[in-house]
């Protein structure tokens, strides 16, 4: 469906996108994940036809899109701020792409109702958009994007402006909606949890280059480099003696541990002293000083855990990955 071959986009001296090749099958959702400034928006804009390629090609259903203007590509774009028409009702916002395509009145109304149902806002048609919450506005923006019946939906940080709990819920909803509608989509985000929730495939982008691409679960479990591991939420990196004493065996390279790899349990094999304890909604995030190892991130259940307390940590190997030695990601 979508094929990017050796795509490069330069702005003067800056190489924003550096020789990126990616492909995406019909009905799949690809997340381009990376820190701010890594070039992911530029890549998305290049696919949309909003940036000129310095080199390489973007093909859609076998056709090279060079010279094809944005509005002729059959793609829909959705941004962080939904860019709704403030003076128009919710229904008129969603109906806009249908009008452009010449869909007649009654059919248009039915389609708007269907889309409102799909995004979880039945009965909202007559509301003015400024009276909606941020999350509701993004749902309307999504409905409007889907109304265009796009071959490809391009999402640029669609949930970034929302607060965290809403972002999590909406990410789950967005995943369901994209699957239900069979929409092919590219999502750009700096949030690894969001990428994991929403996408089938993940391309990790650092400094203009795609450094790893694959099924989301594979990238999650087997990060290709230390920089990728660091960016997708592995917090503790151990090598040599330190790795051996925590894992109970020597490792080749570096062991990368997610926070949940080490959990406070009475009979844990690793002992240390709590340096920092931060209670979150359903756990306690700990930094624990382990003699001969250094500081490791760990998870506790007891909100009463205190700095200075001695704890024992048990290891969950499913949250450990081996990565080659290398530099962590620059953030």
**CA atoms of 12 and 175, how far apart (whole Å):** 37
| Nearest distance in Å: CB 283, ligand ADP | 30
Stretch that binds ligand ADP, among 10-18, 59-67, 112-120, 240-248 (CB under 6 A): 10-18
14: contact with ligand ADP by CB under 6 A: yes
| Nearest distance in Å: CB 212, ligand ADP | 16
| Nearest distance in Å: CB 153, ligand ADP | 17
36: contact with ligand ADP by CB under 6 A: yes
49: contact with ligand ADP by CB under 6 A: no
| Nearest distance in Å: CB 56, ligand ADP | 16
9 vs 143 by CB, closer to ligand ADP: 9
19 vs 113 by CB, closer to ligand ADP: 19
- Out of 22, 24, 40, 144, point to the residue binding ligand ADP (CB under 6 A): 40
20: contact with ligand ADP by CB under 6 A: no
- Out of 18, 30, 42, 203, point to the residue binding ligand ADP (CB under 6 A): 42
As a three-state string, the secondary structure of the chain is: CEEEEEEEEEECCEEEEEEEEEEECCCCEEEEECCCCCCHHHHHHHHHCCCCCCEEEEEECCEECCCCCHHHCCEEEECCCCCCCCCCEHHHHHHHHHHHCCCCHHHHHHHHHHHHHHCCCCCCCCCEHHHCCHHHHHHHHHHHHHHCCCCEEEEECCCCCCCHHHHHHHHHHHHHHHHHHCCCEEEEECCHHHHHHHCCEEEEEECCEEEEEEEHHHHHHCCCCHHHHHHCCCCEEECHHHHHHHHCCCCCCEEEECHHHEEECCCCCEEEEEEEEEEECCEEEEEEEECCCEEEEEEECCCCCCCCCEEEEEECHHHEEEECCCCCCCC
214: contact with ligand ADP by CB under 6 A: no
| Nearest distance in Å: CB 37, ligand ADP | 5
| Nearest distance in Å: CB 236, ligand ADP | 26
331: contact with ligand ADP by CB under 6 A: no
38: contact with ligand ADP by CB under 6 A: yes
48: contact with ligand ADP by CB under 6 A: no
Residues that bind ligand ADP (CB under 6 A): 11, 14, 16, 34, 36-42
């Amino acid at each position: 469906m979508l094929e990017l071959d050796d795509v490069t986009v330069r702005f003067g001296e800056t190489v924003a996108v550096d020789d990126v090749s990616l492909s995406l099958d019909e009905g799949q959702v690809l997340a381009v994940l990376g820190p701010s400034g890594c070039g992911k928006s530029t890549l998305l804009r290049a696919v949309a036809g909003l940036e000129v390629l310095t080199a390489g090609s973007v093909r859609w259903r076998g056709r090279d899109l060079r010279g094809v203007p944005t509005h002729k590509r059959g793609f829909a774009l959705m941004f962080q701020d939904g860019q709704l028409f403030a003076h128009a009702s919710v229904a008129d916002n969603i109906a806009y792409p249908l009008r452009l395509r010449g869909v007649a009145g009654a059919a248009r109304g039915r389609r708007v109702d269907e889309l409102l149902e799909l995004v979880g806002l039945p009965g909202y048609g007559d509301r003015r958009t400024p009276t909606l919450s941020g999350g509701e506005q993004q749902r309307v923006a999504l409905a409007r994007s889907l109304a265009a019946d796009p071959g490809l939906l391009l999402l640029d940080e669609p949930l970034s402006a929302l607060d965290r709990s809403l972002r999590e819920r909406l990410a789950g909803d967005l995943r369901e909606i994209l699957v239900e509608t069979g929409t092919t989509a590219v999502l750009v985000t700096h949030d690894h949890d969001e990428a994991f929730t929403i996408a089938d495939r993940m391309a990790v982008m650092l400094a203009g280059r795609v450094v790893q691409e694959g099924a989301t679960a594979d990238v999650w479990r087997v990060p290709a480099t230390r920089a990728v591991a660091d960016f997708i939420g592995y917090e503790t990196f151990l090598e040599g003696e330190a790795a051996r004493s925590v894992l109970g065996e020597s490792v080749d390279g570096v062991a990368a541990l997610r926070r949940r790899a080490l959990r406070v349990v009475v009979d844990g094999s690793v002992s240390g002293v709590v340096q920092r304890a931060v209670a979150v909604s359903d756990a306690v995030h700990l930094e624990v000083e382990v003699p001969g190892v250094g500081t490791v991130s760990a998870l506790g259940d007891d909100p009463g855990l205190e700095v200075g307390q001695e704890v024992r940590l048990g290891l969950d190997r499913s949250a450990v990955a081996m990565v080659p030695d290398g530099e962590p990601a620059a953030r």
